[in-house]
A and B are shown apart, each in its own frame.
Chain A
Amino acid sequence: MAKWINFLRKYGPIPRNDNMYDEAIQRTSRRSKIDPISFEHPFQEKVFACFDCSPLSNVILTGTAGDGKTHLCREVWVKLGGDIKEWESDDPYVCLENNGKYIHFIRDLSGWAPPMGHTWEDHPEKKKLILQFVESCFVMGSDNVFMIAGNDGQLVEALRRLSMESDSSKVIEFRNILDELLVEDKQYIENVFLELFNLSRGSSAEIFDKALDALIHHDGWSECLSECNGRDSCPVRTNYNLLKTDIVRIRIRKLFELCDHNGLHLPIRQVLLLLTNCVLGHPDAKDSLIRETDVLNIIDSGKVAEGCLYNNVFGGNLPYRRRSSITVFDYFERFQIGEETTNRIDNLLIFGEDDELLKPIYDGLFGSDPFFSNDLHFRNAKKNYIEAPDEDEESSNRFLEMLVRYRRGMFFMIPIEKEQEYKLWDLTVFRFAGEYTKDVHEFLASGNKHVHGKILGRLVRGLNRIFTGMMLESNDKLYLAESGSYSQTKVSRIFLDYVSVRPSKNEKVVIIMEDNKHVFLRVYFTSSDFEDLKLSLVRYEFLSRVAEDGALPASFSKECNEDILAFKSRLIAMWNNIRNCDDEETTEDNIEIRILSSESGKPKERSISIRK
């Protein structure tokens, strides 16, 4: 058991997690004779394809640390017949010949490019090579082809320095091309022989699926589990078994999907770290990750439940500082699962076991749970809390901490078919997340055209409230209004126009999906003039809450508010353009000012005419 657990720990949030780096994984794996957790990289097929066609194209792999750049680079090296021994050298630059072409691999740009304080001039052979690369991007079928893996920041920095040192117009042109590829999320540009793969644009949920399968089917487990036969209460085994259940997979995957929808990318390294922590996390173990020697102690102390997967998913086993410095926990923290609650949920957790009405529900959720069905610590703490509420602050705090764990547990126990009934998403800060994924994303992805009118109407109401700064109830027309001074002013009383939500004279407001991935709210002024608002989860929640409650938690209001106001400016600009095209010069003697006000939620406009 020890060997596998020790190997696995290295993927986890320990101070020296060697398995963060492809090079290190390979080394550890050889030493311990355990295969690394491996699966096909989601981009592998696409990248391989670049070397299967003719003419060959240069390839840049960029992305966040841990996205698998080096790994993918190695796969290409091996595929093209490169010598694995040569790859294992420490040289960040290697080269091979393939069908008469030289394929240059710069597998670690930061290790290869001149370090800070140096110039390209200080390394003439490197300068020559990088210029050769730039050159080959403009030549079809060049004899030199490059495969460069590097963080995009380093790439931009390297070229910035190069463009300062070199007066070649090619370099400057190339820099602009690179900017365009990066910022506009393109893979290639016409007539440039370069394919750029930004691995950070992949789906984290997809990586999660692959990583989870690779982890649970890893050979290491069979030996490990057979060795500890009989220790049914071993937290590692329990977590491992939980990880194999559908419900846990579905719920964790949902969190990844929602991160994707919010534009928060989690690289492979973070996904593996999370999974490892799920299985091995326990606050009492060394570095909060269980070693073989910890297992018995934990069982004996009766604190098995403290290492439950439900809590480990959120890094609950780790000290706050450690947790907040790890991206995946930082992102998951934003769901506020465990902190967010309703009276209903807390009543169930506190009184459920002893209340006749609630007991069936309580038992249905927790009765057969391996961690919680027999959690004496919780039971005692609860008893103390109920019976002696003010006496002992410390113990009540301890109980509240446990409660966080139970709320998190609930997130993984509510069965799919009861999500609505138990209001699963009330356990998170995103109350509308369930609707967002199911009734918007999945609904559109499966080919449906129109989301439910209720949803569209609610979003429109939210937009109207922000656009006008008034508590309008209207949801069938989108109101465009200005304030007259700087457009960031809160209340906009000058009414310009409205756009009908239902199709009318080519005007309409719809929710659409593009690339089977991103959802937009689209406002049509004519059949060909429209503006889009990307509907991330945060914006969806923001608009929905503004529409339902009129207010929202301050934490994400500012950013969204700015976004929505910028959208309004774009809509007004387009409206102005279309109007100016319509009626040429207006040399009327009158102008009309339409003033908008709200009468208990109903928009009311009054026209004033001024003679010039």
Chain B
Amino acid sequence: MNQERLYPENKNPEPSMWVDEAIWGHRLYDEQVPWFIYLEFLNVAAFYSKEGKLFEEPNGYNRLVYKAAHRLYLRNILFNFPLSKMQQISHMDLSDNQMWDKWFLEMDETQMGLIYPDFSYLRMHFDRFVDLVDVIKLVHSSCLELHSNKRWTSKFVFPYCVDALYEDLDRKTSSNDRRFFGRTGELVYLMLCRAKGKEKLRKLLNERVFSSKDTMWETVIRSLQPANSSDGSERKVGFLPYESHHCFDSLCQDWIEILELNIPLIDLAPHLVKLVGFHVLRFQQELARESLNDENKSYYVAEIIAPKKTLVRELSVEFYQKNNNLSMKAVVDHIEQIEKSEKWQQACDSSDPFQNCKELLLERVLWPRKQSDYEGAFNPEDLMASLKAAVRRRHSQHVGNIHRVYGREIGLISKRGTNRLRYAPTDAFIRTLVLTNVNTRMEFKEFLIKLFERYNIVIGDVEAQRMTCIKVQDLDNKAFQNNAERLEQRLSSIGLLRRLSDGCAYLLNPYAK
């Protein structure tokens, strides 16, 4: 199952070494939560959709360049000027003209990043200043990260339409500092470029997401920015080291399922976001195993929260911990493979061991390139030790957190009811799985089997029995049966399941096409 990895042609890329990147690409980034992955993805995809080249890599792998919008007028109005202050102005004893003038004046001073700011276009769209204030209040109610303490340049409008898309920027609005748009969205774009079934996804995204429907929200978003404002700068898309992978295919397939549902676009987004987070999490797991040549699977033994401790909870904690440590193992192993290689041995035995070993590392992991990368003694052992320490440190800072952070964000992993992290999916995550996997209706047990076969999610006793890494006799079937029963109850309480009798229940997809 191990396939040839792609390596960057540029031997002096952005990252300080090529270890995590070699396994998972450039790059997985924990601070880019799934919503931000989705937004970054949309920025790339919107650009290529407009060019008519959605999901194509015409010049070969990993050579895409795109342009993302900045939309500083929209963002200054929404996020760089307090709404409360606008409301104050609207309550002052002033004429409408005076209100506008007062606000324009203050806005000119507050705004950032615009060279000749001119907000007067707003008056073409709004009759009165109070109308603008009310509309902003309305837009705010659906913004992402509005109340977080993120900088104003990292707050986002709900992606209603192409005109609502823009990239994350640093505080001075000068460039994308990769703080929250850390290329994971670009990576997802590349995955989908290489997925089976992308043609259908292309069609659906073009139809449902990237074509103008002239909705109320599109008008609102457009009215808050000047016409034909083109800004933004060119960006190279990240690096994905595989030509194909079943994880890419299943993400593509799942997105298709959601986009085909009969739900308004606005309601689709949260599902697409959860799925992208989940598939990136799975991608990390699967590639870690492949890199380790580990034939076992990453099982997600999911506890449907029980009032007290159960065997399922214990196993769930156990599997979570194992899976969570897997990526660290993979990077350490990646280095150890080099250390064990013949080439390394030859270099060690050569006349200039340090220099030769260093060159080998430069070739394999693009490290150490800078003087400050390695300042130790000139011998291979110290060099290797230093590399290992650097790899561990670097991995634990970001990529090593993906499993936990994404899992929690999408509602797969939680501490609820205990002090230990485990797979304990929320209702919202389960709902996404149902909408993705149930076409019109599906018998409950069949659904559990499907979750197992597609994602290795273990909920009921039948699936638990099928886990290859556990002795069947150690399993308490009853505990898993109860677990499945709890899921059934929850599904029924969120209106997705119909119980026919004590032995039979069907899942229903209320939005089936």
Contacts and interface: CB of A to CB of B under 8 A. Distances in A.
Interface of A: 62-65, 67, 151-157, 160, 179, 182-183, 198, 200, 265, 483-487, 489, 491, 493-494, 558-559, 562-563, 566, 591, 593, 595, 606, 608-612
Contact of A606 (B124, B134, B505): B134
Contact of A610 (B219, B495, B498, B502): B219
B109 interface: no
A601 B266 CA distance: 29
B441 A183 contact: yes
Given A483-B141, A558-B493, A153 B135 contact: no
A200 B124 contact: no
A484 B142 contact: yes
Q: Find the residue from A152, A563, A608 having the highest chain B CB count within 10 A.
A: A608
A278 to B, nearest CB: 23
B267 interface: yes
Given A484-B141, A484-B142, A486-B267, A595 B500 contact: no
A154 B131 contact: no
B492 to A, nearest CB: 8
Interface residues of B, number: 40
Contacts of A610: 125-126, 131, 135, 219-220, 223
B216 interface: yes
B37 interface: no
Nearest to A488: B267
Q: Find the residue from B135, B219, B443 having the highest chain A CB count within 10 A.
A: B443
Contacts of B217: 484
Interface in B467-513: 492-495, 498, 500-506, 508, 510
A200 B500 CA distance: 8
Contact of B267 (A153, A156, A487): A487
A332 to B, nearest CB: 17
A612 B219 contact: yes
Nearest to A609: B127
Nearest to B220: A610
The 5 closest A-B pairs by CB, nearest first: A153-B503, A485-B142, A153-B504, A152-B504, A151-B503
B446 interface: yes
B486 to A, nearest CB: 14
A484 B501 contact: no
Contacts of B492: 559
Nearest to B124: A611
A156 B504 CA distance: 8
A183 B493 contact: no
B245 interface: no
29 contacts: A65-B502, A151-B502, A151-B504, A152-B504, A153-B500, A153-B502, A153-B505, A154-B503, A157-B445, A160-B443, A179-B441, A182-B504, A183-B441, A183-B500, A198-B500, A200-B501, A485-B266, A487-B266, A489-B141, A491-B141, A494-B138, A559-B492, A562-B493, A566-B495, A593-B138, A595-B134, A608-B126, A609-B127, A610-B219
A63 B269 CA distance: 40
Contacts of B222: 612
Contacts of B58: none
Given A154-B503, A485-B142, 7 more contacts: A157-B445, A183-B508, A489-B142, A559-B493, A608-B131, A611-B125, A611-B126
B125 A493 contact: no
B158 interface: yes
A152 B216 contact: no
Contacts of A179: 441, 443, 506
B264 interface: yes
A160 B131 CA distance: 59
B411 interface: no
B270 interface: yes
Contacts of A489: 141-142
A484 B265 CA distance: 11
Nearest to B217: A484
A38 B445 CA distance: 36
Contacts of A558: 493
B125 A483 contact: no
A606 B133 CA distance: 13
A155 B131 CA distance: 61
A562 B428 CA distance: 12
A562 B216 CA distance: 26
Contact of A608 (B135, B443, B498, B504): B135
Contact of A63 (B125, B134, B501, B510): B501
Contact of A198 (B223, B446, B495, B501): B501
Interface in B135-191: 135, 138, 141-142, 158
A465 B133 CA distance: 26
A9 B475 CA distance: 37
Nearest to B215: A591
A182 B495 contact: no
Contacts of B506: 179, 182-183
Contacts of A609: 127, 131
Contacts of A493: 138, 141
A363 B358 CA distance: 99
A562 B494 contact: yes
A79 to B, nearest CB: 25
A593 B504 contact: no
Contact of A183 (B134, B446, B494, B498): B498
A265 B500 CA distance: 10
A432 to B, nearest CB: 21
A562 B495 contact: yes
A151 B501 contact: yes
A559 B124 CA distance: 46
Given A593-B220, A609-B127, A563 B138 contact: no
A179 B269 CA distance: 31
Nearest to B446: A160
A53 B266 CA distance: 55
Nearest to B428: A488
Contacts of A198: 500-501
A609 B222 CA distance: 14
Contact of B158 (A182, A485, A563, A591): A485
A611 B223 contact: yes
A485 B158 CA distance: 7
A485 B138 CA distance: 10
Contacts of B220: 593, 610
Contacts of B504: 62, 151-153, 155-156, 182
Contacts of A612: 125, 219, 222-223
Given A484-B266, A486-B270, A562-B493, A608 B501 contact: no
Q: Find the residue from A62, A183, A265 having the highest chain B CB count within 10 A.
A: A183
A160 B447 CA distance: 13
A559 B142 contact: no
Nearest to A564: B495
A198 B510 CA distance: 23
A95 B498 CA distance: 34
A485 B445 CA distance: 33
B101 to A, nearest CB: 20
Nearest to A563: B495
B501 A62 contact: yes
A184 to B, nearest CB: 9
A67 B264 CA distance: 43
Nearest to A592: B216
B77 to A, nearest CB: 14
A486 B428 CA distance: 12
A53 B510 CA distance: 39
Q: Find the residue from B158, B219, B220, B502 having the highest chain A CB count within 10 A.
A: B502
A593 B142 contact: no
B41 to A, nearest CB: 19
Contacts of A591: 216, 219
A566 B511 CA distance: 10
A608 B498 CA distance: 43
Nearest to A67: B501
B10 to A, nearest CB: 41
Contacts of B508: 183
Contacts of A483: 141-142
Contacts of A494: 138, 216
